A and B are shown apart, each in its own frame.
Chain A
Amino acid sequence: MANRTDPTAKNIRGTNPQNLVEKILRTKIYQHTYWKEQCFGLTAETLVDKAMELDYVGGTYGGNRKPTPFMCLVMKMLQIQPEKDIVVEFIKNEDYKYVRILGSFYLRLTGVDSDVYQYLEPLYNDYRKLRQKLGDGRFSLTHVDEVIDELLTKDYSCDIALPRIKKRWTLESIGTLEPRKSALEDDFEEEEDKEEDDQAMVEVGEKDHYRRRSPARERDHDRKHDSRRHRDRDNDRECGRGSERERSRDRDRDRDRLYLREDKDNGRERARDRDKGEDREWDRRDRDRGRRRNRSTSRSRSRSRDRRDGRDRRKRHGRGSASPPRRHDEDGNSRDESRKKKPKIEKKDDGTDHPDPEIAEANRLRASLGLKPLRP
Chain B
Amino acid sequence: MIEVVLNDRLGKKVRVKCNDDDTIGDLKKLVAAQTGTRADKIRIQKWYNIYKDHITLRDYEIHDGMGLELYYN
Instruction: Give the B interface residue count (CB, 8 A).
Output: 18
A63-B30 CB under 8 A given contacts A359-B1, A376-B1: no
Contact of B30 among A24, A369, A376 (CB under 8 A): A369
A64-B50 CB under 8 A given contacts A359-B1, A371-B22, A374-B19: yes
Contact of B1 among A65, A368, A374 (CB under 8 A): A374
Residue A128, interface by CB 8 Å: no
Whether B43 lies near A375 (C-beta < 8 A) is no
Residue A159, interface by CB 8 Å: yes
Whether B26 lies near A369 (C-beta < 8 A) is yes
Q: How far is the CA of A359 from the CA of B52 in the complex (A)?
A: 26
Q: How far is the CA of A365 from the CA of B50 in the complex (A)?
A: 25
A63-B22 CB under 8 A given contacts A359-B1, A365-B33, A369-B30: no
Closest 9 CB pairs of A and B: A63-B50, A65-B73, A374-B1, A362-B17, A369-B29, A24-B73, A375-B19, A371-B26, A365-B33
Q: Could you give, for residues 30-41 of chain B, a 1 whenever the CB lies within 8 Å of some chain A CB and a 0 otherwise? A: 100100000011
A159-B17 CB under 8 A given contacts A24-B73, A365-B33: no
Residues of chain B within 8 A (CB-CB) of A63 are 43, 50, 52
| Min CB gap B67→A, angstroms | 19
Residues of chain A within 8 A (CB-CB) of B43 are 63-65
| Min CB gap B41→A, angstroms | 8
Residues of chain B within 8 A (CB-CB) of A136 are 52-54
Binding site for A on B (CB under 8 A): 1, 17-19, 22, 26, 29-30, 33, 40-41, 43, 50, 52-54, 72-73
Say which size band chain A's interface belongs to: 20 to 34
B25 nearest in chain A by CB position: A136
Could you write out 12 A-B pairs with CB less than 8 Å apart?
Answer: A24-B72, A28-B73, A63-B43, A63-B52, A159-B40, A358-B17, A359-B1, A369-B30, A371-B22, A371-B29, A374-B17, A375-B1
| Min CB gap A111→B, angstroms | 25
Residues of chain B within 8 A (CB-CB) of A375 are 1, 19
| Min CB gap A372→B, angstroms | 7
Residues of chain B within 8 A (CB-CB) of A376 are 1
Residues of chain A within 8 A (CB-CB) of B18 are 374
Q: How far is the CA of A368 from the CA of B32 in the complex (A)?
A: 13
Whether B73 lies near A366 (C-beta < 8 A) is no
| Min CB gap A150→B, angstroms | 15
Residue A68, interface by CB 8 Å: no
Whether A369 lies near B33 (C-beta < 8 A) is yes
Q: How far is the CA of A60 from the CA of B72 in the complex (A)?
A: 13
Whether B73 lies near A60 (C-beta < 8 A) is yes
Residues of chain A within 8 A (CB-CB) of B26 are 369, 371
Residue A135, interface by CB 8 Å: yes
A28 nearest in chain B by CB position: B73
Q: How far is the CA of A25 from the CA of B41 in the complex (A)?
A: 10
| Min CB gap A140→B, angstroms | 15
Q: Could you give, for residues 349-370 of chain A, a 1 whenever the CB lies within 8 Å of some chain B CB and a 0 otherwise? A: 0000000001100100110110
Which residues 38-74 of A sit at the B interface, judged by CB distance below 8 A?
Answer: 60, 63-65
| Min CB gap A27→B, angstroms | 10
B40 nearest in chain A by CB position: A135
Residues of chain B within 8 A (CB-CB) of A358 are 17
